[in-house]
Amino acid sequence: MLKSEKSLGIIFFPAFDWAISPTHPEREERLLYTQDQLREEGLFDMEGIAEYKPLVADIEDVERVHFCFPEPQSVVTRSHLVSAGGAIRAAQLVMEGERDRSFAIVRPPGHHAMKVVHGSRGFCNINIEAVMIEWIREHYGPKRVAIVDTDCHHGDGTQDIYWHDPDTLFISLHQDGRTLFPGTGFPKDMGGPSALGRTLNIPLPPNTSDEGYLMAVERIVLPILEDFKPDLIINSAGQDNHYSDPITNMNVSAQGYAKLNSMLNPDIAVLEGGYAIQGALPYLNLGICLAMAGADFSHVREPDYTPEKWKQDARTTAYIEQLCDVLPQIYFNPPPFDGSEKSAQGVIAGDRAIRHKDIFYDTDGITEAQTETLYLCDHCRGLLSCESRSSNNPLCLGVEIPQSACPACRKKGYKLIEDAQIKGAYRYVQLINRLDKEYMRYGF
Amino acid sequence: MLLGIDVGGTHTDAVALDLTNDRVDVAASCKVPTDHDNLLASVNAALETILADVNRTRVRQLNLSTTLSTNAIVEGRTEDVGLLVSAGPGIDPHHFRPCRDFHVLDGSIDHRGNEVRALPVSQVQRAVDACRENNIRVFASVGKFSTRNPRHENLMRRTICRCDSDTECENADFVTMGHELGGTLNFPRRLATAYFNCAVWRVYNQFATAVSESLSAMGLGHVRVNMLKADGGTMPLEASRSMPVQSIFSGPAASVMGIVALCDVVHDSVILDIGGTTTDIAVFAGGAPLVERDGIAIGSHPTLVRALKVRSIGVGGDSAITMLGEDVRVGPRRLGPSACMGGTHPTLTDALNMTGDCELGDVNASRRALEQFAAEHTMPAALLAQRAIEAAATAIHKATGELVHDINSKPVYTIHELLEGKRVIPRKVYVVGGPAQALKDHMFQRFKLSTEVPSNFGVANAIGAALTRTTWELELFADTERHVLFIPSLSYRENIPTSYTLDNAREDAVNNLIIHLDKLGVYLEPDKAQVTEASTFNMVKGYDTVGRNIRVKSQVRPGVVRTMAS
């Protein structure tokens, strides 16, 4: 009988009764064949592997992370709450020591959902990893967390949420944004002035195969993880780098994904994208599950896989080698933050770091204009405020008092809310007070 | 007149039930000791005893539950099996190797049922030849995803038999094909199930033949014989000959069906069958027994054998009382019979004798054994007896709690199920088995739920066996893009049009179930066939819907033909 080295909890929630639309890539059928494959392989009978049902996230779990306008209920469906609840269950299993590792194979995904939410972007409404991580911090205290996003698309939502957080390391490996949605994720994006180098983007050229992908992980990601010493490693386990994925151009195989996972050694993995639902997902998920459990995955491969066909050319290899040489410096030795007027990363004006963002919600067709202000503070992470207006909502305001807030920032946060109500022209105002665990919204 | 026989570990219980007067009367019942080396003799002895009191010509049916296959496996009296496997990519099938003659071949079928790689005929032939050299006479052919497309299993079978006939074959006595074991997806379980089905095939068939012969000899040649299955249903003897693995672990099912027959269970309930060495715990949801989601494990091998969800713990009337420090424990060991029955070590039954909860055998012997044991541990004997009963009740209560928790935390796959998910919350406890009456109040104290001990609680299992209905289940899988419908357990394939829908599939599943049972000589009222799972998924290529993937499961719900409850 096959045994696993590590105990693994799998939260499998295919949401067989929810879809964006009947023919959308993110639909009911997406995890159907994965389920067939995992069952047929007898994965859930393996000693050490157990299947769990998801929790259902509360609205408060969402409010802890996002500014949802006009309110969370209008941007999340029950399916999103279950998907986030699946991630939370995965975290709970590991945090309580019931399992060594866990993998939330849930849908819909979440890594394109940013701090402010007006609707759905890139099939994502709420960021299920962030909801999970903040749930962990709320229940188990401050934690240093590393998120390694291996989805083929840049994890722009997760990057946005943790832009100013020095305790969260966000590394995204993705197909170069010049060739794929959402068109972002370049090395120049390094995190805000108080979290420089905590965001690291690794844009890989189209047609990168296992070789190049694993090289980037080995030479860039692993040394940084080693140095950061996170309490938890989270894998945003998107699976659309697969050679057969219909909406991307990468050439990674099931073996590549399984090896990636065993190198990364994540405590928790959360499924993100991956739309080759017949030819890839069943094998990828099987490979990842086996790798996470520390079990033999050497026989897992796609039926049509021929390594020679997907071998990357020498130019690609050379290009990735260059990336491996330079990119680690962004973490180990980030250049000082350029907060001048001409910087695209935002400007520093007095004690504030200000960014203007124009965001397009491709799934829902919403446009948003946002001004994000971080009040720089020497004593804590700093107070965050987001002023936002979209084609869905009039001017709104979100204010976040961080978990580690100093008394001055806390006071300033309340002052901002008070001013907004009395003087501001905001239709909706939301307060996230992580220090006192207080989540409030005004305006109906 | 219906007969029921349950061949148990200690006793073989038998009943004859008279159904003529619109109610069920126990016309005769008996308990005879089980002779493990000759189960047929035990069956015959039980039959002779009850037939002494009834008119043989009126006997219509005999339902039999036997530990034969279970024992054969536990005691290693199984036959060598040649196992041919087509697995393809995935987990290395060698991890699941159950026997020596195990041959993994280079074929592969994917989850949609497409043949990815053909099976090399010469390789199959070499594997079969290698088995022959080891004098193998029974074979299993098992493929991954064979429930979607049995092509490889069929090819392996044809090569094994070197013939086209479905029945007769000189080269092999018996071949099990994986897809015939049911439509459930689980390749390692299919492997193990096919293996065990072959391994016990000969010993089971010899027993089946012997039972038929002795029935004829007793003037009962006209009697229809059914074998009990672990899922709380029966199968006709002839059908069971090719599916002997289904008779494994049917013992607990007999007692659970006994409760169904004896009590009018309507609420979520706990069923406790407290025997000599073990207590079997089962749970009913809304009046129906729960079934294991995938199947039971035989040894360390999970299988596809459907079974009632029963948990056994080592606490029974004969369980020895032991002490660990100040802790009084009961079971799981058995150190001979109870003191009141001539044993030396005090047991739970002795404790019950001491407290006056029952009067079994030599009550004074119980008292003496307990006093002696208590003195060795400097504890008053009365307190020891009380603590022992408490320990037994606590162990049963705890195991029940865990079982209910397991049931309630089972994974679900739709938002609807998750949010509207029904939880099982037991409201009643039913207790059967030898010590049932004596432990009734103690169980009530522990569970704080209405506790019932039915009449005839001693032979509830045989009554359950006698009244159990014939059941069958099947899975239907349809793919409208490939225009194919497949029912694996019947090896039934049909072409379907693009317009085929979930409703068509539901109808086809139920009809095929009825037709199949009809072929087995079992009449099924259409309302007894139910659809337990039905789902349909649009399959999309690019942005166009190209077909539907439809899955339907239908079954005859396990149950009894009549109840004895008033």
Whole-number pLDDT of residue B166: 59
Query: Which of A1, A105, A286, A301 to mutate to probe the B interface, most B CBs <10 Å?
Result: A1
Q: Which domain holds residue A228?
A: 8-332
Confirm or reject contact between A247 and chain B (CB < 8 A): no
Q: Clarify whether residues A134 and A17 are in a common domain.
A: yes
Q: Clarify whether residues A358 and A285 are in a common domain.
A: no
- A49-73: pLDDT as tens digits: 999 989 999 999 999 999 999 999 9
- A84-109: pLDDT as tens digits: 999 999 999 999 999 999 999 999 99
How many residues appear in chain A?
444
CB B461 within 8 A of CB B560: no
Q: Clarify whether residues A407 and A358 are in a common domain.
A: yes
Neighbour-count burial for A309-344, b at 16+ CB within 10 Å, e otherwise: ebebeeebbebbeebbeebbebbeebeebebeeeee
Which residues 372-431 of B have a C-beta within 8 angstroms of A?
409-416, 418-419
A33 interaction partners in chain B (CB closer than 8 Å): 111-112
3-state secondary structure labels for all residues of B198-244: HHCHHHHHHHHHHHHHHHHHCCCCCCEEEEECCCCCEEEHHHHCCCH
- Give the number of C-alpha atoms closer than 13 A to the C-alpha of residue A225, restricted to the C-beta side: 23
Q: Clarify whether residues A396 and A324 are in a common domain.
A: no
Least confident of B50-54, B97-101, B206-210: B50-54
Least confident of A101-110, B15-24, B492-501: B15-24
- B211-240: pLDDT as tens digits: 999 999 999 999 999 999 998 899 999 999
Single out the residue in A268, A297, A332 at which a domain terminates: A332
Q: Clarify whether residues A304 and A403 are in a common domain.
A: no
B95 interaction partners in chain A (CB closer than 8 Å): 1-2, 296
B88 interaction partners in chain A (CB closer than 8 Å): 303
**Closest B-chain CA to A52:** B411
Alpha helix segments (H runs only) across B377-427: 381-408, 415-420
Whole-number pLDDT of residue B76: 85
Handedness of CA B228, B230, B231, B235 (dihedral sign): negative
DSSP symbols for B327-353: EEEE-S---SS-GGGT-SS-BHHHHHH
Of A2, A283, A303, the CB nearest to B95: A2
**Distance between CA A171 and CA A234 in Å, rounded?**
10
Distance from CA of A150 to the nearest CA of B (A): 22
Asked if the structure places residue A2 within a domain, the reply is: no
- What tokens were used for A286? 């099987």
3-state secondary structure labels for all residues of B82-101: EEEEECCCCCCHHHHCCCCC
Residue A188, CA distances (Å) to A203, A234, A353, B539 in order: 11, 23, 17, 41
Asked if the structure places residue A280 within a domain, the reply is: yes
Single out the residue in A332, A365, A390 at which a domain terminates: A332
- What tokens were used for B197? 């089905």
Whole-number pLDDT of residue B300: 84
Mean pLDDT comparison of A279-288, B275-284, B539-548, highest-scoring range: A279-288
Distance from CA of B199 to the nearest CA of A (A): 19
Asked if the structure places residue A339 within a domain, the reply is: no
Asked if the structure places residue A338 within a domain, the reply is: no
ipTM value for the complex = 0.90
Q: Which of B180, B207, B205, B199 is nearest to B298 (CA)?
A: B199
**Distance between CA A346 and CA A370 in Å, rounded?**
12
Angle between the N-to-C axes of helices B363-376 and B381-408, in degrees from 0 to 180, rounded to the nearest 10: 90
Of B108, B117, B188, the CB nearest to A45: B188
Catalytic site positions of A: 112
Distance from CA of B196 to the nearest CA of A (A): 16
Confirm or reject contact between B544 and chain A (CB < 8 A): yes
Q: Clarify whether residues A91 and A149 are in a common domain.
A: yes
Confirm or reject contact between A32 and chain B (CB < 8 A): yes
- B464-484: pLDDT as tens digits: 999 999 988 999 999 999 999
**Closest B-chain CA to A37:** B111
Q: Clarify whether residues A56 and A108 are in a common domain.
A: yes
Whole-number pLDDT of residue B165: 59
- B172-186: pLDDT as tens digits: 899 999 999 999 999
Single out the residue in A292, A308, A332 at which a domain terminates: A332
Banded model confidence at residue A81, pLDDT cuts 50, 70, 90: very high
Confirm or reject contact between A45 and chain B (CB < 8 A): yes
Q: Identify each DSSP E strand in B87-158 by its residue range.
A: 102-105, 108-109, 115-117, 138-143
**Percentage of chain A surpassing pLDDT 70?**
99
Q: Clarify whether residues A97 and A131 are in a common domain.
A: yes
Q: Clarify whether residues A48 and A195 are in a common domain.
A: yes
Q: Clarify whether residues A207 and A130 are in a common domain.
A: yes
- CATH classification of the domain holding A76: 3.40.800.20
Kindly tell me if the per-residue pLDDT of A339 is higher than 90: no
Distance from CA of A77 to the nearest CA of B (A): 10
Number of separate helices (H) and strands (E) present in chain A:
13, 17
A298 interaction partners in chain B (CB closer than 8 Å): 92
Q: Clarify whether residues A265 and A373 are in a common domain.
A: no
- A390-443: pLDDT as tens digits: 999 999 999 999 999 999 999 999 999 999 988 888 999 999 999 999 999 988
- B370-401: pLDDT as tens digits: 999 999 888 898 999 999 999 999 999 999 99
Q: Clarify whether residues A67 and A122 are in a common domain.
A: yes
User: Structurally, how many domains does chain A consist of?
Assistant: 2
